[in-house]
Structure 1
Amino acid sequence: MSDETAPAMDYETHESTYEGFINFSKIGTVAVLNIVLCLILFAFGGTSAVVFGWLMLIATLVASGIGMALGEKGWVPPTVVFALTGVLCILLV
């Protein structure tokens, strides 16, 4: 038996929720990859690598927060931090 009084789906809200989920997924993926690079610095680097690992870990948290606030292009700040952490891994490990 169908219910004729059910409200229609709110497509605008659905689309904005989907875009938010995709944005969060992009930022989260880059943040997790950056955490893996920080773990490499912690495990295989010397004292300076551990210090830079902590700095880049904090930078990842800040960049992820900024990325969530930016919206659609929010993946850019965590990606920049990821690239810098990768360069540090190459130089220090």
Structure 2
Amino acid sequence: MADDTAPQIDFNEHERTYVNFLRGSVAVILGSLIVLVALVMFAFGSGASATVLGFLGLIFGLAAVVLDLRMGSNWTLSLVVTAIFVFITLMWVA
């Protein structure tokens, strides 16, 4: 019989994986929200300028999410860009 051959649990690696999973989940949620707001702008905005604003908001919003994800920050840039995009969409559609 083999004695003491069970692998040891690496709690530091487990915690790092958990933190990265949470960061990825937040990035997917913010990206989905930005895509949803862009779809609202495309569907209910009037004119070609709504389409341009929708694409710009989509590009800048997803770029902000990628930057926050890569920098490991606290999502401030993504939240600010998303809030501005939501506000512009609400003003444009209303």
Identity of aligned residues (%): 36
Aligned to 1:68: 69
2:39 matched to 1:35?
no
User: Structure 2 unaligned runs (5+)?
Assistant: none
Aligned to 1:12: 12
User: Structure 1 unaligned runs (5+)?
Assistant: none
Is contact 1:31–1:64 with CA below 8 Å preserved after alignment?
yes
**CA shift in 2, pair 1:89/1:35, >3 Å:** same
2:55 matched to 1:51?
no
Counterpart CA distance in 2 for 1:36 and 1:2 is 56
Query: 1:24 is aligned with what amino acid?
Result: G
3-state DSSP class of the match of 2:39?
helix
CA RMSD for the aligned pairs?
A: 1.8
Query: 1:85 is aligned with what amino acid?
Result: F
Is contact 1:23–1:72 with CA below 8 Å preserved after alignment?
no
Counterpart CA distance in 2 for 1:51 and 1:3 is 67
**1:88 to partner: Cα distance:** 0.9
Of structures 1 and 2, the one scoring higher in RCO (CA 8 A, sep 6+) is 1
Counterpart CA distance in 1 for 2:35 and 2:64 is 13
Corresponding residue pairs, total: 92
Could you state the TM-score of these two structures normalised by the residue count of structure 2?
A: 0.86
Aligned to 1:85: 85
Counterpart CA distance in 1 for 2:71 and 2:50 is 30
